[in-house]
Amino acid sequence: MFGLKAFATKKSTRVNDQSASGHMDIGKMRMQWGRTVSTSDGDETVSFPVPFGNTPTVTATTEITTGAASAWGGTVVSVGTTSFDYNRDDTIANATHNPFIAWFAIGLKP
């Protein structure tokens, strides 16, 4: 299959593929993604690999590992150009399992 880099020529949109680092620029657009361990029941700051030029749109979800004894939900509380805050609500008190926060952000590059 052809990767995005195969379609970037001098006359086309420039692609900066840094997917191994969790981000990619296509023209003026920047996409970033990641997965981090959630360690607390409450607001947690998640940093982007590189900054955005504007406030991006972020979607995030709590990822449950098979066999987890609890269920979690969460909300993106605030977003900036270098990070976002995510509030994971733990529905079971004294849970010992730390789920992952899987996220994706899209905005403009600086």
CB-CB neighbours of 24 under 10 Å: 17
Domain map of the chain by residue range? 33-103
pLDDT for position 15: 82
Instruction: Tell me what pLDDT residue 96 has.
Output: 58
What's the pLDDT score for residue 57?
97
**Helices and strands (H and E) in the chain: how many:** 0, 8
Weakly modelled stretches of the chain, pLDDT under 50: 1-3, 7-8, 92-94
Convert the pLDDT of each residue in 18-50 to its tens digit: 878 889 999 999 999 999 888 877 889 999 999
What values do phi and psi take at 4, rounded to 5?
-60, -35
Contacts of 81 (CB under 8 A, 6+ apart): 48, 51, 52, 53, 54, 55, 56, 107
Q: What is the pLDDT of residue 94?
A: 45
